[in-house]
Amino acid sequence: MTDLRDLYQDVILDHNKKPRNFGRLEAHNHDAHGHNPLCGDDYEIFVLVHDGVVKDISFDGAGCAISKAAASMMTSKVKGKSVEEAQQFIEEFRDMMAGHLDESGREHLGHLRVFEGVAQLPNRIKCAVLPWHTLNAALVGSEIASTEGDHDEWERA
Amino acid sequence: MEHHANIVPWQMLRDEIGIGLHVVPMSDDGVIDMEAFEAAFNENTKFVSVIHVSNALGTVNPVDQMCAIARAKGVPILVDGCQAAPHMKVDVAALGCDFYAFSGHKMCAPTGSGVLYGRAELLKKMNPFMGGGDMILSVSFEKTRYNEIPHKFEAGTPAIMPVVGLAAAIRYLDSIGLEAIARREEHLTTVAIQAIQGLGGVRVFGPTGHRAPVVSFAIGDVHPHDVGTILDREGVAVRAGHHCAQPLMRRLGVPATARASFAFYNDEADVEALITGIRAVQEIFG
């Protein structure tokens, strides 16, 4: 059983209250819209990629504390990293939520491991994963990501 | 304040045969505008369908008045009583409705059971919606003669077990007494609303006066799904979501609400647990 404080850690609450990289990014060349129709979480991710590097990234939208903190911490994590490494983070984050992330992956994810507690709550996993789905959709060039149906990256993965 | 169950089928019918839909507005605290209701009738009005008790707000609609108005205009009216039948005594004849529907799973019965009451005079005029066994008097390759009501609407082998379960559930509720159930639930609801309002920082949705035993609320700007998770960890089960009432959520200006509901088996300790849980949310998100 996940303790409430493991789930709602201070860093998650802080990112929920003061989301980083929040708001529309005008200068972008990749974007995608992510939506969970079951709960209403709704985000847009804007990415500026240059020479294979995530030069800038932002997100806009609304949802629960878990999804908003996940989006905020994700954008902080991948900004300045190569697209390749961003995709590695996406894979690792998914693996963590599915409960089969190896030790080197855990190390690489660093403080994003605060979301490990969410993996214990089946009905909240999609909250944490939605921004990552959406980032993946933006990077691979699809316009929509959803936690349900044909656009569910999780199911396709 | 309608449930999707009273919106989607009408839109499907609109797309199928081209009916027009007219929605009657409600006030900010979830009370139907009766003047607008009466004014909505015109010579083209063919049918009225209304929820008895709002599952999301607890509003108890004045369905007796609505039935009287519909009857005076000569328009049949259906009342969706899924949230009313388990919580109050319902007399369809006294109400004056033409149709009344409720589901078993909201009143201690198995899923897949439910009741659709219709006035015999209207049911006799209606065609079967499904063909098969039991709904016939005689069948030849040339012609089928339909059975009497209600059998003509009950094609095929019925859901015997759920329906037997529904009868047992109704007997059980009757043995406790729906008046006694309503008294206890009303008491718990009143105590809960007072306690929630005493906390400060919590918005309670729905009418200020009489209501059914559901309390939809918002704790500051904390998302209802976070509220739901924390209350769950505190041992309190609430529904967090749009309650199959997305147009209502838009009307209230929220993505979703958290909703506590009371039944006859709850007591004041459950209300206290809810209050403790809400305090925990406020503490974590403070």
Residue B41: the pLDDT is 98
- Tokens representing A151 are 């656009």
pTM equals 0.89
Identify the CA nearest to B79 among candidates B95, B60, B108, B101.
B101
Cβ contact (<8 Å) for A127 and B284? no
Cβ contact (<8 Å) for A4 and B241? no
| A1 pLDDT higher than 80 | no
| A130 pLDDT higher than 80 | yes
Which residues in chain B have Cβ-Cβ distances shorter than 8 Å to A127? 225
Cβ contact (<8 Å) for A63 and B223? yes
- Cα separation values, B80 from A7, B54, B185, Å: 40, 10, 20
Region A77-101: mean pLDDT is: 95
pLDDT along chain B (286 residues), means of 10: 97 97 96 97 98 98 98 98 97 97 97 97 96 93 94 94 98 97 97 96 95 97 96 96 95 95 97 98 94
- Tokens representing B220 are 């500051």
Which residues in chain A have Cβ-Cβ distances shorter than 8 Å to B237? none
Mean pLDDT, all residues of chain B: 96
Of A2, A8, A64, which has the smallest distance from its Cβ to B284's Cβ? Answer: A8
Residue A6: the pLDDT is 82
d(CA A30, CA B246): 31
Which residues in chain A have Cβ-Cβ distances shorter than 8 Å to B222? 65
| A4 pLDDT higher than 90 | no
Residue A157: the pLDDT is 44
